[in-house]
Amino acid sequence: MRTRHALVIQEDKIILKILERLANSRSYSCKAITSLNDLDIEDQNTNFDVIISDILFDGIAPLEFVSQVQEVILHKNLVIVSNMGQEKIKKDTMALKGIAGFFEIPFDLDEVEQLIAGY
């Protein structure tokens, strides 16, 4: 069986670590980073099966961040887990192409697990 790759981008280290363990428990090989700056050259060659990312980062608008992730990193599915759960942001983000799910914090880890299990 081929190894599945996951990338978690979260500023909150505790949520980051929990999501990393969650992905590992679902037999993903997982890379966990706190910002896009932590990506290295090798990551550009990886086609991630799933990216679980926040959208709230310093110096960049949420929707812009999503487009940047979609442009820069090769991936198949993008799931958002964010503190920024206002209806408008949620609607705008889900309206973008290629968003597999949006979870606003507080969220149920089981739902994320269920979603990524299928990829």
Q: Which residues of 81-104 are buried (b: 16+ CB within 10 A; e: fewer)?
A: bbeebeeebbeebeeeeeebbbbe
Specify which residues 77 forms β-bridges with.
50
- Give the nearest distance from C-beta 41 to other proteins in angstroms: 25
Q: Is the dihedral of CA 99, 89, 65, 56 positive or negative?
A: negative
Strand 4-9 with 28-33, pairing: parallel
Please give the size of the binding site for other proteins, defined by CB under 8 A.
Answer: 19
Cβ nearer to other proteins, comparing 70 with 85: 85
Where in 77-116 is the site for other proteins (CB under 8 A)? Answer: 105-111
Could you give the string, one character per residue 1-30, with x where binding to other proteins holds by CB under 8 A and - elsewhere? -----------xxxxxxx-xxx-xx-----
- Give the nearest distance from C-beta 67 to other proteins in angstroms: 26
Residue 77 Cα distances to 13, 16, 33, 59, 64, angstroms:
22, 18, 17, 25, 17
- The gap from C-alpha 57 to its chain's centroid, in whole angstroms, comes to 13
- Give the nearest distance from C-beta 110 to other proteins in angstroms: 5
- Give the nearest distance from C-beta 22 to other proteins in angstroms: 5
Cβ nearer to other proteins, comparing 21 with 74: 21
- The residues of the shown chain that bind other proteins, judged by CB under 8 A, are 12-18, 20-22, 24-25, 105-111
